[in-house]
């Protein structure tokens, strides 16, 4: 049987839009000051825990969403650990279509029925498309589409690293999918787990599936970290 790939999955550090509960989706928003501090602390913690002679083993590779809030977080890890960094668009946040750039309240006001489908986590529902003059905004993805994308991306990244440790830096929606996959949670199950910025989440992956080792470790942040899911 193939040795499992050990994964540390990390949501990017905080952004100004996280604080405002504004949907980012594929919009390329940078970290704010708190997020940059979180990324630095995250990198330091991983360097200490996963040095070459540490019992936990060294980090073989870092894979990150190519959106800059994740990329900036991953770069802090790269600088601290020396592990190679690779960008992968398959780790991007869910595409939110016309919702991108808006607050929760604005979405409720403009599209009450769509907002209801979103809150109820209807698996095959996707956010409405953006206006033609906002072509840079990603098409809306259903939860089923996001799960398929994340499952495929995870297999492609983890399979070459059997017996090794890798870091995945992504977004709140990706972390939610990883938790559900590792614990066999239904897509519509209410979320009872945290998705804090720059928290450490530990998983094991094999071709047969994924299991959860530890979740939402924020000890390196001394209790800091915003838990909202519009990433």
Strand pairing report for 61-64 and 85-87: parallel
Catalytic site positions: 12, 93
> Any residues with CB less than 8 A from the CB of 197 and at least 6 apart, and which?
11, 12, 13, 14, 18, 35, 38, 225, 226, 227
* Backbone torsions φ then ψ of 135, nearest 5 degrees: -65, -20
Measured distance CA(193)–CA(173) in Å, rounded: 12
Burial of 87 (0-12, 13-18, 19+ CB in 10 A): middle
Report CA Rg, the chain. 17
Count other Cβ atoms within 10 Å, centred on residue 82: 12
Contacts 24+ apart (CB under 8 A), 73-76: 73/10, 73/12, 73/13, 73/31, 73/35, 73/38, 73/39, 73/42, 73/169, 73/198, 74/167, 74/169, 75/39, 76/36, 76/39, 76/40, 76/42, 76/43
């Amino acid at each position: 049987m193939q040795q499992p790939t050990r994964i540390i999955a990390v949501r990017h550090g905080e952004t100004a839009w996280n604080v405002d509960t504004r949907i980012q989706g594929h919009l390329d928003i940078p970290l704010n000051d708190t997020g940059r501090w979180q990324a630095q602390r995250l990198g330091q913690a991983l360097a200490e825990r996963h040095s070459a002679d540490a019992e936990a083993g060294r980090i073989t590779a870092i894979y990150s969403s190519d959106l800059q809030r994740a990329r900036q977080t991953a770069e802090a890890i790269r600088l601290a650990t020396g592990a190679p960094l690779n960008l992968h668009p398959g780790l991007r946040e869910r595409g939110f279509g016309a919702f991108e750039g808006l607050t929760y309240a604005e979405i409720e006001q403009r599209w009450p029925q769509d907002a209801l489908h979103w809150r109820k986590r209807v698996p095959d529902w996707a956010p409405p498309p953006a206006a033609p003059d906002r072509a840079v905004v990603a098409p809306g993805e259903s939860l089923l589409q996001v799960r398929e994308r994340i499952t495929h991306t995870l297999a492609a990244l983890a399979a070459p690293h059997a017996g090794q440790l890798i870091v995945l830096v992504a977004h709140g929606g990706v972390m939610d999918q990883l938790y559900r996959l590792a614990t066999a949670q239904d897509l519509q199950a209410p979320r009872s787990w945290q998705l804090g910025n720059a928290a450490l989440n530990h998983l094991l992956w094999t071709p047969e599936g994924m299991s959860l080792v530890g979740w939402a470790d924020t000890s390196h942040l001394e209790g800091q970290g915003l838990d909202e899911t519009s990433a």
